[in-house]
Structure 1
Amino acid sequence: MALAIGVGVFAAGLSEGHAAAKAVEGIARNPEAAPVITRTMIIGQAITESNSIYALVVALVIWLFL
């Protein structure tokens, strides 16, 4: 079960960190665009985080029914 969650969450964690780093770079270059960049980053991270939730659900289903 831990392997299923770990594999599912690994890519999500990497992509969320990458998105946050690029958002900070964008805000550093153009501080006036901070609200738009932040809003877009949060929406993107929420969509990415849904993959982690799906991995957790699949791992729990595997654990409970197999």
Structure 2
Amino acid sequence: MDVTTVAELSGNIATVGYGLAAIGPAIGVGIVVGKTIESVARQPELQGKLQVLMYIGIAFTEALAFIGIATYFIFTS
């Protein structure tokens, strides 16, 4: 293999790696939303407060994905 092929291959592997790393935040968001739905089903009067907490939890979980893509761009440039 020449140098160009190896460089292209490592770039593609980094993209696949980020795709696999994004599975974690996706699972986290699913858990947060699922638990919020369970909580609202148990106590509907807390729906407003739980929804706010759910959005905060989603934001923190998605921050991990954004940090991952930023790290990818930092190390590939």
What TM-score do the two structures reach when normalised by structure 1? Answer: 0.86
In the alignment, structure 1 segments of 5+ residues that lack a partner are: none
Question: Deviation of residue 6 (structure 1)?
Answer: 1.5
- Give TM-score, length-normalised by structure 2: 0.75
Stretches of 4+ aligned residues off by more than 3 angstroms: none
Give the structure with higher Rg (CA): 2
Q: Which has the higher contact order (CA 8 A, sep 6+)?
A: 1
| Structure 2: gaps spanning 5 or more residues | 1-13
In percent, how many aligned pairs have the same letter?
A: 22
RMSD: 1.1
- Number of corresponding residues: 64
